[in-house]
Amino acid sequence: MAQFGTLNFGSLDASSQKKELDLNNPQEHHRLVIVGSGPAGYTAGIYAGRANLNPVLYTGLEMGGQLTTTTEVENYPGYPDGVQGPVMMEDFKRQAEKFGTDVRFGEVTRVDFGRRPFILVIDEEKVISADAVIIATGASAKYLGLENEQRLRGAGVSACATCDGFFYKDKVVAVVGGGDTACEEALYLAGLAKKVYMLVRKPYMRASKIMQKRVLDHPKIEVLFEHETVDVLGENKVEGIRVVHRRGKPDEKVYDIQIDGFFLAIGHKPNSDVFKPWIETDEVGFIKTECKSTRTNIEGVFAAGDVQDPIYRQAVTAAASGAMAAKDAERYLQELEEKEREQAQAKEEGN
């Protein structure tokens, strides 16, 4: 029996709105479908377009991906004067389209990778089939879910120190989280800021011992254990946070800390739910790829960018893996065509 993933991002609850669709009669067939419109998806489009694979790219609901939520990008090679994240993604899109990628706004809400060609359902409306698929749906940073945290996103609240840390030179910032990412972000920020508070909710950190030592030994970083952030303060930009120390304990204390920047490092959620019935992921949901390739456990399905990368998560590394995925898909499609030719020839000779 076919299994189907449920929608995990966007506002539409596909599971409650699933239509009766005839999956045996796809409305269109494509050699290659790319899912996702961040640096990985568009770069896959550039390479696949140039290889004459006529790729179709579905953007997802957040066209352009995480970079459209950042301001200035200063670390992408080739932009010595920096570039606004949304502008850069528009450039990526134009470049993909220039080489023939058919960029379409729409979300893949279900897939069936148990048959060939593969089946993809778009917006619960349309059924298409594809010989190969590149998954480049990215990941979303987790936020605490506080009202003012959301209001001040981009005005002092950030989930990427590498992207936004530069704006906090000689300022005071706080990083939430106790994992390796939080340590890395705190250390990065300590190279720029005057002071870094690290807010860890437990009495200990989850990060590797070496990262913990680096953070604890750093003169500019103050680790506040057993601290939870309950509010972000400031009218038009972040001016402070309200924290609770030892919540629920007899010595519980609520107080405010003045800061200029508030960085979240409490993990990322890969956008892989819709593929999970078919594609192997780790326990967090990051898609597993074969060493030094973008191949997943299903032949003909490839994964690129943050959806398969819990560690580097940079635009440039995502773009690089998008190029790899297009090369892997190209090779796969060539082999598939050869196989089909041989089968047709054998059939003809048999007749």
Catalytic residue annotation: 160, 163-164
Pick the closer one to ligand NDP by CB: 151 or 201. 201
Minimal distance, residue 285 CB to ligand NDP, in Å: 11
Minimal distance, residue 336 CB to ligand NDP, in Å: 35
Please name the residue that has the structure tokens 């910032």.
Answer: 173
Pick the closer one to ligand NDP by CB: 254 or 311. 311
CA atoms in the 13 A half-sphere facing the CB of 68: 16
Q: Is the dihedral of CA 101, 102, 105, 107 positive or negative?
A: negative
Footprint on this chain of ligand NDP (rule: CB under 6 A): 144, 176-182, 184, 201-202, 206, 266-267, 310-311
Beta pairing, strands 118-122 & 108-112:
antiparallel
Q: Where are the beta strands (DSSP E) in the chain?
A: 28-35, 56-58, 72-73, 83-84, 102-104, 108-112, 118-122, 126-135, 139-141, 157-158, 172-176, 195-199, 221-224, 227-233, 240-245, 253-258, 261-264, 268-270, 301-303
Pick the closer one to ligand NDP by CB: 48 or 182. 182
Q: Which amino acid is at 61?
A: L
Pick the closer one to ligand NDP by CB: 260 or 309. 309
Please name the residue that has the structure tokens 């913990």.
Answer: 212
Minimal distance, residue 144 CB to ligand NDP, in Å: 5
Minimal distance, residue 229 CB to ligand NDP, in Å: 7
